[in-house]
Structure formats: structure tokens, C-alpha cells
Structure 1
Amino acid sequence: MLSHRTRNSDSAQAYRSLVARFPNWEEVIDAPTADVESAIAASTWPEQKAPRIQAALRWIRDEGGAISLDFLEELTPYEARFWLERIPGVGPKTSAAVLSFSRLRMRALPVDSHHHRVAQRLGLISDKLDVGPAHAVLEAMLPPDWDAQQVYDHHEVMMFLGQRICTYQSPKCRQCPLLDLCPTGQRRTGATLL
């Protein structure tokens, strides 16, 4: 939730500040929302995220019996994502990020706006496919023998490519290592697909 529309460095700073200020998750739930908002001020829209985080923690405690997601280790990635997406405010990206980035290290593909844009320009998904539904489509394209680390690495590479080369406004198609495979880059540069 902290990372939504927030740079990685800022969401990491917000998380560090949150755990430094509140020694445990119960204290986050019980704290005045303004205090949580202050702790996560480095993220975008802390005034929206603070009450959502408190509500999500409350939901996890009430549904799972404790403020812990350790029990998800016993589920398949599909089952774990289904459980997480029942939490108000948690969608495909957040559920995949929790499973992939946390100590759970499960095979789940988070698709952020950068990854989504690269996939659209490569022609892997339709320009009309929103980021939410794109998770299942793109994850189904992954080699079945990839483990959680390989899926994580793939996400990082796609995100980096979208942030540095395949940018929203001025993509640097001639510098792209995937130009030979990219119909959008081919059109923009006048090059030819392999």
C-alpha cells in the first residue's frame, strides 16, 4: 500500500519511519490516524494511505487471528493472492508485491505502471488492457520453471526498463535492448523487426 504511486526510495523511507515510530502492528492500529500519516509522510498521499493501512492491519488481525501473514506460506501463490485481495484496498499489484517482496518470497508477478507500459509497447498485451487484469495475463506468459527469484528479477528488469528507457513521454527506443523485438520501437525509429 505504501508503494502505490510512490518511488521505491520514498516508500522504503516511509516504511522505515513507520516501524521506527511504532514498535508493533497493534500500535499502528491503535494510534491516531494523524500519527500514522506523519510516520509515512515520505509516501504519496499519506492522508489516504494511513487509514487504509490501519484498516488492512485490523482486517488481517480479525480474519487471520493475528497480525501476521506467515500462514500464507502454507497456501499456493494463487490461494495466498486470493486471500490478500479480500483485504479492502488490496488489488493484484499489492498482493503480488507482498508475496514476492516479503520474506514469503512466493512466485507472484507484480505489474507496476512501468512494467505495464513496456508490456503494451512490446505487444505482449493490448493497449486497452488495464494494469489490474494484466497481472494474470503476463504471469501466465512466464516460463513455468521460473522460481520466485527469477520472477522477482524479471519484474525488477521490466520496471527498470520502463523507468529508464521505455519512459511514458519520451521513450529512448534507439537505446532499448529490446528494440529488435518491439513493434512500438520499430514504428518510432523506422527500424525493422527481426
Structure 2
Amino acid sequence: MPRPDLAGADLAEKALAIHRRLCGVYGCPIPYFHDLDPVSELISSLLSHRTRNAESGRAFKALRARFNDWESLVAAPTEKVQALIAGVTWPELKAPRIQAVLRAVQERAGGLDLGFLRDMPVQAARAWLEAIPGIGPKTSAAVLSFSTLRMPALPVDSHHHRVAQRTGLVGPKVDVGPAHAILRAQLPADWDAQTLYDNHEILMLHGQRCCFHRNPACGRCALLDLCPTGQARTEARPLRDTAALHP
């Protein structure tokens, strides 16, 4: 009878193999893409949901140019905030949500400063953030990992999630939110912030540059021998081609 933890051990081994392979492709360590304080990173992350980086970046810059501090954003008329972030997806929802989230931070922390999270264990810091309505696993991990806090948390975006599903690290019905805990548990508990950041970035980059949502480039994928989805696609393609020639 197989050991009950064998599947988990196999997945952890596979996760490490994928990490090593993609680090060789994309070059680890990967530099952090910006150095925002944690409250600014929180706003940036909320803007980025279902929005291209270029648009969310423009919206964030517009907010920074308009408001001297984030307290002024909280106090501003919501319609003005919405107008400044008009380029993002669902600005009519994001403007009041950002203001509500920042008010909750003010109430719980006594001000708009999240630096104290650095002194908390990662899971406790994530729980503190996720207790605020509007902050989910991706946002909490992004605040801890991407900001100047530089804490060892693993964000999972849609590209990262797609690669994880196709390679079998998470099941086909596991959504992005629950995938955070599963994918983190597959990686060594003692990995530092940089290594976890690398893991997120290389899976995200692979999703953007090779493992596309539609028509993934399986034929040139560095993970093909580790990916049951890619193997099935490349094996099936000649059959489809033959069928097309002989209707």
C-alpha cells in the first residue's frame, strides 16, 4: 500500500524541479520590480486586479501625483478617485474599495502605516491583512513580498496559477485563492523572501512568454517533460493534423 504522503512528496519534488528549470531559463535571482512602502503596494495591488500592468501603473502614478499622502486619498470624493483610475478594470468598484480598505487599515493600525507587519510571522501578517474586506490571498502576499517589507510570502497570479495547473502542481478545479497555500506548502519552509519571489516571478514569466492562456507554445516549453498537459497536446496534434487532411 502506498504511503499516504507520497503524492505530496512527489509534488514537492516536482515543484523544486520546475523551480530549478525555470530559474535556468529566466535567470535567478530576479530583481524586485519596485520598492514601494507596504501601503502603496496595497493600493497598487488592488488596482492591478484583472488589469494590465501598464494601465494599473498609470492609475497608481495618477493617484500619487494628485494626492500628497494616502490620507488625502481616503478623504477625497470617491468620484474624483474613480476619474483618476478610469483606465483600470472596474474603476467604479475599485475606487470605493481602495478607500474602504485604507479606512480599515487606519482603524485597525491607528494610521496608514503597515511597517509593523515586518515583526509578525508571515501567516499572522497575512491573516491580519485578509481580515480586512477586499484583501484576499494574492493581495496580502503581494504586500508582504513585493513591498519594502520583503517578507517570504508567495503570491499567485493568473499566469502562475495556469502553469501550476497545467503541470499538475494543483488540480484543475483549484482556484487561485486556495492555490496559494497548496503551492507554498510544496516549497521548502526555510526559503527566504528572494527565493519565493523568484518562484512567483519565473512561473508568472513562463505563463506570459510560453504557457499562454490560448495556444500555449508546448513545442518549445522547457517544462514539457514535466507537464502532462503539454505532453497530451503535443501527442494529439499529429492526429488532429491527419484528421484535417482526411475528413
- The normalised TM-score by structure 1 is 0.95
Alignment of 1:66-85 (within 5 A): 66-85=111-130
Unaligned segments of structure 2, at least 5 residues: 1-45, 237-247
**Secondary structure in structure 1 of the residue aligned to 2:48:** coil
Is structure 2 residue 141 aligned with structure 1 residue 96? Answer: yes
Q: Which residue of 1 aligns with 2:56?
A: 11
2:239 maps to 1:181: no
Higher helix share: 2
Aligned match of 1:42: 87
SS in 2 for 1:57: helix
Deviations 1:81-110 (A, max 9, x none): 000001111110010011111111111111
| Structure 1 residue aligned with 2:243 | none
- Residue 42 of structure 1: how far off its partner (Å): 2.7
- What's 1:130 paired with? 175
| Alpha-carbon separation, structure 1, partners of 2:156 and 2:231 | 24
1:168 partner letter: H
CA distance in 2, matches of 1:178, 1:84: 35
Task: State the partner residue of 2:15.
Answer: none
Distance 1:117 1:17 in 2: 31
Q: What is aligned with 2:66?
A: 21
For residues 181 and 206 of structure 2, what CA distance do their matches in structure 1 show?
A: 21
Tell me the distance in 2 between the aligned counterparts of 1:185 and 1:55.
43
d(CA) in 1 for partners of 2:195, 2:53: 20
* Structure 1 residue identity aligned to 2:190: D
The 1-side partners of 2:194 and 2:82 are apart by: 33
TM-score by length of 2: 0.75
| Aligned: 1:160 with 2:194 | no
**Distance in 2 separating the partners of 1:143 and 1:190:** 33
Give, in angstroms, the shift of residue 126 of structure 1. Answer: 0.5
Give distance in 1, aligned partners of 2:58 and 2:221: 31
Q: Does 1:2 align with 2:44?
A: no
Partner Cα separation in structure 2 for residue 68 and residue 190 of structure 1: 54
Segments of 4+ moved more than 3 angstroms: none
The count of corresponding residues between Structure 1 and Structure 2 is 191
Match for residue 78 of structure 2 among 33, 37, 43: 33
For 2:32, the equivalent position in structure 1 comes to none
Structure with more contact order per residue of length (Cα contacts < 8 Å, sep ≥ 6): 2
State the alpha-carbon separation in 2 of the partners of residues 156 and 8 from structure 1. Answer: 14
Q: CA deviation at 1:41?
A: 2.1
Shift of 1:169: 1.5
Question: Aligned partners of 1:40, 1:147: CA distance in 2, in Å?
Answer: 34
Residue identity opposite 1:158 in structure 2: L
